[in-house]
């Protein structure tokens, strides 16, 4: 092989990290109402905090603003926003999901996509390895923010655990594609 062709091969190409989308969603795909969760499920909140602790959390501005302790437990937030005034020590800012993922790919830890609706939609459209950490709440609730349709994608179920509290039945799923 000539020297000219050898120089075209990438020397240190690495595959992009797996994206971990984490979301609690009602049967009618509702994930929010007026910037908040439309339910309070302590077991799911604990699961969310445990899964994201010590990881890279990629999220939109509204999600960031409603999560005041995002930097606790060793999380590394990457906020997708066009507003540089949001920047704080320990918080990375990116204008788009592709830019946020380019930053996150260079940081240690798993990339946890934490919402909102537009961020989930853009992430689901990517041709990257992906896991969906889904808490499916077995109810239809009122809301104004929705999880994009995910059921048509070729997921493989890794785990499932049924649970409930005094208000809801729900299932924790881990899916992979």
Q: Which residue has the tokens 């020397």?
A: 11
How much is the pLDDT for 36? 92
DSSP reduced 3-state for 145: strand
Instruction: Give the other-Cβ count within 10 Å of 67's Cβ.
Output: 18
How much is the pLDDT for 15? 82
How much is the pLDDT for 13? 57
Q: Which residues are bridge partners to 77 per DSSP?
A: 57
How much is the pLDDT for 3? 45
CATH topology of domain 15-176: Dihydrofolate Reductase, subunit A (3.40.430)
d(CA 74, CA 100): 18
Domain boundaries, the chain: 15-176
DSSP conformation letters of 52-100: HTTSEEEEEHHHHHT-TTTTGGG-EEEEE-S-GGG--TT-EEESSHHHH
Exposure letters 40-58 (e unless 16+ CB within 10 A, then b): ebeebeebbeebbeebbbb
pTM: 0.90
DSSP reduced 3-state for 144: coil
Q: Write out pLDDT tens, residues 23-73.
A: 999 999 999 999 999 999 999 999 999 999 999 999 999 999 999 889 999
Residues of the chain with pLDDT under 70: 1-13
């Amino acid at each position: 092989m000539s020297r000219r062709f050898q120089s075209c091969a990438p020397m240190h190409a690495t595959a992009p990290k797996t994206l971990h989308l984490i979301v609690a969603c009602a049967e009618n795909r509702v994930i929010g109402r007026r910037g908040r969760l439309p339910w309070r499920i302590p077991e799911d909140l604990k699961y969310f905090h445990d899964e994201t602790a010590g990881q890279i959390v990629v999220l939109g501005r509204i999600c960031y603003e409603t999560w005041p302790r995002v930097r606790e437990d060793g999380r590394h937030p990457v906020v997708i926003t066009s507003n540089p005034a949001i920047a704080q020590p320990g918080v990375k800012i990116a204008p788009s999901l592709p830019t946020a993922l380019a930053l996150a790919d260079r940081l240690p830890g798993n990339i946890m996509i934490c919402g909102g609706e537009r961020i989930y939609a853009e992430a689901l459209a990517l041709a990257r390895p992906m896991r969906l950490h889904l808490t499916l709440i077995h109810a239809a609730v009122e809301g104004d923010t929705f999880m994009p349709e995910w059921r048509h994608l070729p997921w493989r179920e890794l785990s499932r655990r049924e649970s409930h509290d005094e208000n809801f039945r729900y299932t924790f799923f881990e899916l992979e594609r």
